[in-house]
Structure 1
Amino acid sequence: MIEITAKLLKGPVYFSGEMVECLVTFSNPHNPIHQISQSHSDVFESLAWASAQVHCQCTANGKVVLTEKLNTSTQLASINANTTFAPWQHDNGHVVMNTKPKILFCDLRLSPGESKTYIYRETIPSEAPPSYRGQAVKYSYKITVGTQRVNTAIKLLRVPFRVLSLSELPEITTCNDSVDLSPNNPFMETQHRETPLDIALQTLQNLTARRSPNFYNITNGRGRVVRFCLFKNSYKLGEDIVGTFDFSNATVSCAQVSVALQSEEHVSEKHRRGKTSLPALVSYNKHHEVCIGLKYSQLVLPIPLHVTPDFNTDLMTLKWRLHFEFVTTTKLVEMPKENTTNWQGPATLDVETMIWDLPLHIHPTATPPNTAQQTKYSAVI
């Protein structure tokens, strides 16, 4: 019996363009005390070979997506798709990205209590799609370690991990006006050369740190409901979406307001089953407030760390928005004067609901939550 253990050195979350490092350990545990080896061949355990490979599997909902059209034209450059070691062949869906298999060893022999550790390194392609679990489409990443004894079937150990895509970021030139807050010493030689990943992370930091308040006058057929301010339009995972409501100059009374963070999953027209199908909407954190009588209020809506930022592939597009629901009255509610100590609100109100959607952008966080999940996997062959 040989036990295989795999551990991701940097945790389970990686950026596109980043290198994945995985420690793979092969161990031959001690025999139980009551078990006595009958021959010298029983002492050693041997494996013919072992290799590792990264691949991204795409699974689509046949009720929404024309799965019969998903062929090699929808894939990123599938490398070595016809090699003998094709661990994705027994999975649902189709492979959209796979790297070249790397041999860890050939002809390994382990005595009882002995173990050997190998390190597997692979760079995720910069154009690779992010990990995503939607209603119509799912993208999932795995490192698959395969090994085989002589004249036996191949055994696989799968190590799932998450990928955050940086390919949706704008060009670095759009952020050149941002202030670089890193220390700078003109008397020291710069020895560190920035990699494309470093540049992308700096672009991400500059883009999401920039504050440019936008004001929106929200009205209906009866007049002005509220003036809403959103302090910026681009956010990172884990940030709070902060905004303010100004009811002071409203000509329509607003009884309550609800705001939900929603994702929009758009399947591309050429892969969509049913040309009139609507995008799939999923609501996450929600803000709800009774605001009748208020002049000012604020919105604080956290962005979950587990959601997928904006991205676009040949198969689908994921967008984000704030979904507002305003419950307004058909008649303006007279509010008490400032010196009034007691005020009784109206017993009944004739109301109507108004809906408004505001698009925004969500980007990856520069510091992924690498310790949030278990990163050690094992198998016995």
Structure 2
Amino acid sequence: MIEVTANLCRGTVFLAGEVLECSVTISCREGNGQGSRGGKSLAWASAQLHCQCHVSESKVKVPTERKTEDVDLTQSTGYTSFVPSRGEKGVCILSTTPKILCCDVHLRPGDSKTFLYRETIPSDAPPSFRGQAVKYSYKVTIGTQRVNSPIKLLRVPFRVLVLYGLGDTSFMEDEDQVDTSNPFLEGQKTRNTLLDTAVQILATVTSRKSPNSYNVSNPNGTVARFCLFKPAYKLGEDIIGTIDFSISTIPCLQYSVVLQCDEHIADECQGQQYNGITSISKHQEFCLHMTKSHVVLPIPLHATPGFITDIVCLKWRLHFEFITAKEPLPDQVTPADQSESALWQGPENIAVDTLVWNLPIKILPMNPIQATSAATVRTPMSITI
């Protein structure tokens, strides 16, 4: 028998525009059947990248002309018997040109041959995403066939992150940046790769400390002041903010902050109405008689940064809920003698109002090499033909 093993050389997470490298090893294993001593032959092996888009039919209505374009695209790239998206759910919206790895390979028992597949992920590709209404998934498909045998497909899933503005680094010109090339190499200055440039952009954007303060108030007065230390965050970071109640004129009993992503379908593709908001992490605290409090919300590595396509737009926000008292609360009596203790008894019933506020934030991808550590898919993967 012949075993085909595929291994993504650098990991399973990539940025759009990067070059994906996959090593494909074809091995001949010992068999019990007749003719195994003479070895086995493989007619051909080919590889291709493709992206599948799966939508919920009740929530998303793709226009008829767009469906036709997707079908024509699939047929134009699948003119051979190798159709990598065969049997997959959804529509193939992106596929690269198939590359032949080998033809007419004869292996004796114990022999193996390794081939390297290299392909550039299109820079305009959508990111990997698993939403309520839309899903984008990427795979490397290796097709193999023995003589007089059906085609076997080995699919290796991987994740794509998108960083917008990779080609525009003008905002970095005025910054005192450190070149990411190796300073210890002699000779000519090495040129930064796309990954080096992306890491430098992410470090520049997400390290800018420009605190923004927001006064939170309702028609009855001021509730609090919220301070966010920077406007953009990477996957895996913590969103840290402070809430100042010392300026409030209305008693705040409790507050909660929720990190949410909003999956919005384009107007021409909207079907059944649904709530596309998903809560990721939450911070809740009782704050009566507090002067200051802080908020810490972790951003998971598996989350998808904000993006936009023809079908869906994903945005991130902080959802605040402040529960305030409608009437002033009785003051706490402070004993004249500081050595004595006092117990404040709150009222049994309090008339309250709820103040809701949404603050948009920007979440960017992280270094894909670091994101690989949180990936659930591991390589190598193999198939027997």
Q: What TM-score, normalized to structure 1?
A: 0.91
CA contact (8 A) 1:48 1:150 kept: yes
CA contact (8 A) 1:50 1:145 kept: yes
Q: Indicate how the Cα distance of structure 1 residues 298 and 174 shifts in structure 2: closer, same or farther if over 3 A, else same.
A: same
Q: Indicate how the Cα distance of structure 1 residues 240 and 214 shifts in structure 2: closer, same or farther if over 3 A, else same.
A: same
Following TM superposition, by how much is the alpha carbon of 1:170 offset from its aligned partner in structure 2, in angstroms?
8.7
Q: Give the AA of the match of 2:366.
A: T
Q: What's the secondary structure of 1:357's corresponding residue? A: strand
CA contact (8 A) 2:2 2:26 kept: yes
Q: 1:17: which partner in 2?
A: 17
What pairs up with 1:43-54 in 2 under 5 angstroms?
43-54=38-49
Following TM superposition, by how much is the alpha carbon of 1:7 offset from its aligned partner in structure 2, in angstroms?
1.1
Q: What's the secondary structure of 1:202's corresponding residue? A: helix
CA contact (8 A) 1:168 1:311 kept: no
Q: What's the secondary structure of 1:199's corresponding residue? A: helix
Q: Indicate how the Cα distance of structure 1 residues 335 and 161 shifts in structure 2: closer, same or farther if over 3 A, else same.
A: farther
Following TM superposition, by how much is the alpha carbon of 1:77 offset from its aligned partner in structure 2, in angstroms?
7.9
Residue 194 in 1 paired to residue 192 in 2?
Answer: yes
- Unpaired runs of 5+ residues, structure 2, are none
Following TM superposition, by how much is the alpha carbon of 1:350 offset from its aligned partner in structure 2, in angstroms?
1.8
What pairs up with 1:109-120 in 2 under 5 angstroms?
109-120=106-117
Output the CA distance in 2 between the equivalents of 1:369 and 1:76: 35
Residue 121 in 1 paired to residue 118 in 2?
Answer: yes
Q: CA RMSD in A?
A: 2.6
Q: What's the secondary structure of 2:343's corresponding residue? A: coil
Q: What's the secondary structure of 1:206's corresponding residue? A: helix
Q: 1:254: which partner in 2?
A: 252
Q: Indicate how the Cα distance of structure 1 residues 323 and 190 shifts in structure 2: closer, same or farther if over 3 A, else same.
A: farther
What pairs up with 1:45-84 in 2 under 5 angstroms?
45-67=40-62, 69=64, 70-71=66-67, 73=69, 80-84=76-80
Following TM superposition, by how much is the alpha carbon of 1:5 offset from its aligned partner in structure 2, in angstroms?
1.2
Higher mean displacement: 71-80 or 1-10: 71-80
Q: 2:301: which partner in 1?
A: 305
Output the CA distance in 2 between the equivalents of 1:160 and 1:81: 20
Regions of 4+ moved over 6 Å: 74-79
Q: 2:264: which partner in 1?
A: 266
What pairs up with 1:121-140 in 2 under 5 angstroms?
121-140=118-137
Q: Indicate how the Cα distance of structure 1 residues 79 and 254 shifts in structure 2: closer, same or farther if over 3 A, else same.
A: farther
Output the CA distance in 1 between the equivalents of 2:292 and 2:243: 6
Output the CA distance in 2 between the equivalents of 1:337 and 1:140: 62
Q: What's the secondary structure of 1:369's corresponding residue? A: helix
Q: Give the AA of the match of 2:266.
A: S
Q: Indicate how the Cα distance of structure 1 residues 301 and 87 shifts in structure 2: closer, same or farther if over 3 A, else same.
A: same
Following TM superposition, by how much is the alpha carbon of 1:199 offset from its aligned partner in structure 2, in angstroms?
2.9
Output the CA distance in 2 between the equivalents of 1:153 and 1:232: 56
Output the CA distance in 2 between the equivalents of 1:182 and 1:226: 42
Q: Give the AA of the match of 1:363.
A: L
Which of residues 332, 336, 350 in structure 2 aligns to 1:336? 332
CA contact (8 A) 1:255 1:290 kept: yes
Following TM superposition, by how much is the alpha carbon of 1:229 offset from its aligned partner in structure 2, in angstroms?
0.4
Residue 360 in 1 paired to residue 377 in 2?
Answer: no
CA contact (8 A) 1:14 1:368 kept: no
CA contact (8 A) 1:57 1:139 kept: yes
Following TM superposition, by how much is the alpha carbon of 1:140 offset from its aligned partner in structure 2, in angstroms?
0.2
Q: 1:245: which partner in 2?
A: 243
Q: Indicate how the Cα distance of structure 1 residues 216 and 170 shifts in structure 2: closer, same or farther if over 3 A, else same.
A: farther
Q: Give the AA of the match of 2:364.
A: H
Following TM superposition, by how much is the alpha carbon of 1:196 offset from its aligned partner in structure 2, in angstroms?
4.4
Q: What's the secondary structure of 2:59's corresponding residue? A: coil
Q: 2:321: which partner in 1?
A: 325
Output the CA distance in 2 between the equivalents of 1:241 and 1:76: 44
Q: Give the AA of the match of 2:365.
A: P
Q: What's the secondary structure of 2:205's corresponding residue? A: helix
Alignment size in residue pairs: 374
